[in-house]
Chain A
Amino acid sequence: MFSEYTLTILIFVGAWIIAGLGFNIISGYAGQFHLGTAVYMGVGAYTSALLTTRFGFPFWTALPVALIFSAIMGFITGLPALRVKEDFLVVITIGISFVFESLLIYLPYFGGPVGIGGIPMPKLFGTSVSKEIYLLMVFAMVIICVALNYKLINSWIGLAWESIREDEMVTSILGIDTRKFKLYAFIIGATYCGCGGVLYAHYMTYITPYDFGFLPSIYIVVMVVFGGIGTIRGTLFGAIFMTMMPELFRFISEYRNSIYGLLLVFMMLFEPQGILGDRSYIWDKIYSSWKRLTARFRTNYAPINR
């Protein structure tokens, strides 16, 4: 039905959506600005790759183990982040990114700079799935991840995160253990990213340390910031847009880094909320049009009493 090329792009979009959602949880909701989320993708990818290639685990067993390891990595990297504020937190996440990449390159256990190849596709009913089925799997994972994300943001934990982002001291005064909730953000966000990493690894069938270094972390940041940080729709839009644009336009692919850099600068100057972020120019237009169009289907409330 789809060409292999289209399948590949769509699968990548799925993986990046999930990773983007993870970053959005840590940095968008909880406000802990993280420039090293590709590390968690790497943990997920490498764990699953090692388990399936060296230890003969089936994909379906390797996946949850990889997610657990990503969660643990989120916890470990979240701990030092609890002790520092804002600007210094960003520096730590950058440091973590480089340390991680170096470990993967220099420790022979992880395959060195060449990485790990021969990662098998998952098996269903005894046979390896086709790429179309894999796309279906990815799609299902995206649905699950988005649904879970909605649940989180509408629950007390999501509210605690946003509260921490707005004013951590006040949140503490209100009775919320902010350290605990920051850790939750790191752990859950890292698990999301790890999931994206696993889906990426088993489709690519080979991974290298450079797939999960500083630059990929920045790509995730650009995606979500461009789309609308702090929102699910922004993350989805950003992941889809930024994954497809280099494929559709050769020009963008060739000058990717410069264009992404310029995009970030441009967004910060004119629309820091992101294209579809809350109260962005475009989103306001979409939202008010929607309200107008559906107004006839809703009861009219009295105007706010001032």
Chain B
Amino acid sequence: MALDHVNFSVERQEILGVIGPNGAGKTTLFNLISGVFKPNSGKILFDGQNIEGKEPNQIAAFGIARTFQIVRPLRDLSVRKNVLSALGAKFCSKFISSLMSFNKESFIQEARDLLKRVELDGYENELAKNLPLGLLRRLEIARALAISPLLVLLDESFSGLSHQEISSQMDLVKRLRREDKTVILIEHNMEVAMEICDRIVVLEYGKKIAEGLPMEIQNDPLVIKAYLGEEEQIA
């Protein structure tokens, strides 16, 4: 079983961390929430509505966006088109509106504004496949923000980043909360998780083994044991 009776909730404007050793089921959790996987049993409630079993595009319409652990840009499209694709989703619900041109000044400007928010302006004509990892992670976030989400799922968006990049990425995540968004983030980087999360949920082998404030989690013997098995140190 990938996830066994995992039960938790997230409050609005909270930054919730999901941590745990490899194979704990963290990404599976995101796949379930975003509709990539359908649960065999259990419920997922978003703002009081059941979203389990729905298709990914339906879940996006509820206002849930996600990024991927291994970045998945639209490789042969420009950075601008990557963001426009996300912006266009709202026009793609009806055939008639999907026939509208995307080359209008208002749409291009909206795309530029999003790129500016993640400091990717200036790269809009680059093909996504030519960007380095750090920038691609920002592109993933720009794309996620383009669908005007209420909840953002960040899957290890800090891994592989330099010290400076981590710092600006953390600022970005904090800004999200100020913009009335809720964030759930999966992280392997303990420093980041401890610093930025309001609360943390810990998974191991598909089960929730702890939940609480970062300080509590740091000192939780069960959590320490789970990670020692992986030879990882909690800062």
Give A residues with C-beta under 8 Å from B: 151-152, 154-157, 159-160, 162-163, 166-167, 169-178, 181, 184, 278, 304-306
Contacts and interface: CB of A to CB of B under 8 A. Distances in A.
Contacts of A163: 74, 77, 85
Contact of B81 (A159, A167, A170): A159
A162 B92 contact: no
A287 to B, nearest CB: 13
A258 B169 CA distance: 56
Contacts of B86: 174-175
Nearest to A152: B99
B127 to A, nearest CB: 8
Contacts of B8: none
B212 to A, nearest CB: 30
Contacts of A306: 122
Contact of A156 (B35, B98, B143): B98
B85 A171 contact: yes
Contacts of B123: 304
21 contacts: A152-B99, A155-B98, A156-B88, A156-B91, A157-B98, A159-B84, A160-B92, A162-B74, A163-B85, A166-B77, A169-B36, A170-B74, A173-B57, A173-B66, A174-B57, A175-B147, A176-B57, A176-B88, A176-B89, A177-B57, A305-B122
A167 B122 contact: no
Closest CB pairs A-B (n = 3): A175-B89, A175-B60, A166-B74
Most buried by B among A156, A163, A166, A173: A173
Interface residues of B, number: 41
B116 interface: no
Contact of A167 (B55, B72, B88, B103): B72
Contacts of B34: 173
Contacts of A174: 57, 60, 85-86, 89, 143, 146-147
Interface in B59-80: 60-61, 65-66, 68, 72, 74-77
Interface of B: 34-36, 55-57, 60-61, 65-66, 68, 72, 74-77, 81, 84-86, 88-93, 95, 97-103, 122-123, 125-126, 143, 146-147
B85 A160 contact: yes
User: Chain A contact residues: over half helix, strand or loop, or mixed?
Assistant: helix
* Most chain B beta-carbon neighbours within 10 Å: one of A156, A160, A175: A175
Given A156-B88, A160-B92, A166-B74, A151 B101 contact: yes
A177 B91 CA distance: 11
Contacts of B93: 177
Contacts of B146: 174
Which of B34, B72, B89, B90 is the most central at the interface, judged by chain A CB atoms within 10 Å of its CB? B89
B32 to A, nearest CB: 13
A156 B56 contact: no
A200 B57 CA distance: 41
A176 to B, nearest CB: 5
